[in-house]
Amino acid sequence: GAVVSQHPSWVICKSGTSVKIECRSLDFQATTMFWYRQFPKQSLMLMATSNEGSKATYEQGVEKDKFLINHASLTLSTLTVTSAHPEDSSFYICSARDSGGLSTEAFFGQGTRLTVV
Amino acid sequence: QKEVEQDPGPLSVPEGAIVSLNCTYSNSAFQYFMWYRQYSRKGPELLMYTYSSGNKEDGRFTAQVDKSSKYISLFIRDSQPSDSATYLCAMEVTGGGNKLTFGTGTQLKVEL
């Protein structure tokens, strides 16, 4: 099946620094990718929809200046957590669908565990 | 009220048991229903996908949808320790931009 690769799988950073997370579709093109956040024992909460070649669409309550999304190609979207604080510590997951295929399955990356100290 | 309600568990069953996992929803616009399995510290993987009321079977897994009651279920037969994971239901609105709305997930443990 299609593969979505997310990198890094975990990262620890100091408070105030920025962290970039990459999401790649390895064997298909994705005009749209999605970024989720998951707290322990809670569901995935959609943060934003990443659109190739245009601005991301953020969900209500998500700070667009804090969570910068760039979708520069059909196979890569990045999420940058700017000026990270301990409350940003969470599990971040991306997903993508094959834009050119018939399958409607959403493929998920393996997730990135961010710890801000 | 959340759009999708799911009992978080944890649910503990003996090996070989039949497991029933359920979600209810309030938004009648949901037309596509999915079940994902998520192992600890991993991304979700799709188990079942359906869009019509009724049952859909795939190996040991059966997905059931009752749109009139806004209720979906996932049944796991002959459960194995390897089935121990968190199971998330997800739903999508037709024309909703491919956005998925997830339940909180039910943590399942299958014991030897």
3-state secondary structure labels for all residues of chain B: CCCEEECCCCEEEECCCCEEEEEEECCCCEEEEEEEEECCCCCCEEEEEECCCEEEEECCEEEEEECCCCEEEEEECCCCHHHCEEEEEEEEECCCCCCCEECCCEEEEEEC
Look at residue A98 in the predicted model and tell me its pLDDT: 76
Judge whether A110 is closer than 8 Å to chain B, CB to CB. Answer: yes
Nearest CA in chain A to B96: A49
pLDDT at A49: 92
State the best of B7, B32, B42 to mutate against chain A, taking most chain A CBs within 10 Å. Answer: B42
Contact residues on chain B for A34, CB-CB shorter than 8 A: 98-100
Check: CB of residue A1 under 8 Å from CB of residue A25: no
Which residue in the set B32, B43, B104 is minimally distant from A111, CB to CB?
Answer: B43
Is residue B50 a contact partner of residue B56, using CB atoms and an 8 Å limit? yes
- pLDDT at residue A103, as a whole number: 59
Amino acid at position A67, single letter: F
**Cα–Cα distance between B86 and A5 in angstroms, integer?**
21
pLDDT of residue B96: 63
Which residues of chain A are under the pLDDT cut of 70? Answer: 1, 100-104
CA dist., res. B85 & res. B14, Å (int): 14
Whether B44 sits inside 8 A of A44 (CB atoms) is yes
Per-10-residue mean pLDDT of chain B, 112 residues long, equals 88 97 94 93 90 92 96 97 96 79 94 94
Determine, for residues A106 and B100 on separate chains, whether the beta-carbon distance falls below 8 Å. Answer: yes
Distance from CA of B103 to the nearest CA of A (A): 6
